[in-house]
């Protein structure tokens, strides 16, 4: 992460909630209107492999970077599940985990889906490449794409970590806007949660 990027995030987070004041500046990879990065053969907790091409017939895709080792992400798990159930058959909600700690690996996630009775399957990418392609920073972090697979919203699910305090549901509003042929009133917010645990990349020593 560059110094500029870190300072920008810190400045944005000074505002309460998921403020859109810094929209369009904090993701160094994607901007609103960009094409959805593709992925291929990611293993899921259902024992199958999944690719973005599998979603060709779905009008709206919501990709979520999340995990089971972050308290905030765990707090949002049931809200993600509710989103899946509400839009079943109309919207593909795709939760992806990239952290390499034990709680976030496929065996533990598979048990979690069964124990929690979740209505979705986690995908896992041990290479973390998909998160890099999206410029993901936090868990949970949401990306909403329309039928043309153009990004229409990215950031937080809603405006409050406390479920009882939610007043604005950003992802839900983006879905409804797409279905109505409109542009979401808020296209970007700052996600709240733990940072994605990117593996440290070793640099090759100079000769």
Give 93-102 pLDDT, tens digit per residue.
999 999 999 9
Q: Cα(43)–Cα(50) distance, rounded to whole angstroms?
A: 6
Tell me: pLDDT of 11 over 50: no
Percent of the chain residues topping a pLDDT of 70? 85
Closest CA to 123 of 76, 35, 54, 176: 54
Range in 11-20, 73-82, 111-120 the model is least confident about: 11-20
Q: Return the pLDDT at 40.
A: 97
Give 126-185 pLDDT, tens digit per residue.
999 999 999 999 999 999 999 999 999 999 999 999 999 999 999 999 999 999 999 999
Percent of the chain residues topping a pLDDT of 90? 82
Name the CATH architecture for the domain at 3-195. 3-Layer(aba) Sandwich (3.40)
- Domains of the chain, by residue range, sit at 3-195
In eight-state DSSP terms, residue 69 is S
Letter string b/e over residues 74-83, b meaning 16 or more CB atoms within 10 A of that residue's CB: bebbebbbeb
The side-by-side arrangement of strands in the sheet containing 123-124 is 123-124, 91-97, 60-65, 141-145, 151-155
């Amino acid at each position: 992460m560059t110094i500029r990027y870190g300072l920008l995030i810190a400045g944005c987070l000074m505002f309460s909630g998921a403020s859109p004041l810094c929209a369009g500046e904090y993701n160094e990879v994607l901007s609103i209107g960009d094409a959805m990065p593709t992925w291929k053969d990611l293993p899921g907790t259902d024992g199958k492999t999944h690719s973005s091409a599998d979603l060709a017939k779905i009008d709206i895709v919501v990709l979520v970077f999340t995990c089971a080792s972050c308290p905030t992400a765990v707090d949002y798990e049931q809200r993600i599940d509710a989103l899946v159930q509400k839009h079943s058959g109309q919207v593909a909600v795709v939760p992806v985990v990239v952290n390499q700690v034990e709680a976030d690996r496929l065996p533990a996630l598979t048990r979690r889906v069964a124990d929690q009775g979740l209505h979705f399957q986690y995908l896992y990418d041990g290479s973390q490449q998909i998160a890099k392609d999206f410029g993901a920073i936090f868990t949970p972090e949401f990306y909403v794409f329309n039928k043309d697979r153009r990004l229409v919203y990215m950031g937080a699910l809603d405006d409050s970590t406390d479920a009882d305090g939610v007043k604005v549901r950003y992802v839900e509003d983006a879905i409804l806007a797409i279905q109505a042929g409109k542009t979401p009133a808020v296209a970007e917010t700052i996600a709240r949660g733990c940072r994605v645990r990117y593996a440290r990349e070793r640099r090759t020593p100079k000769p």
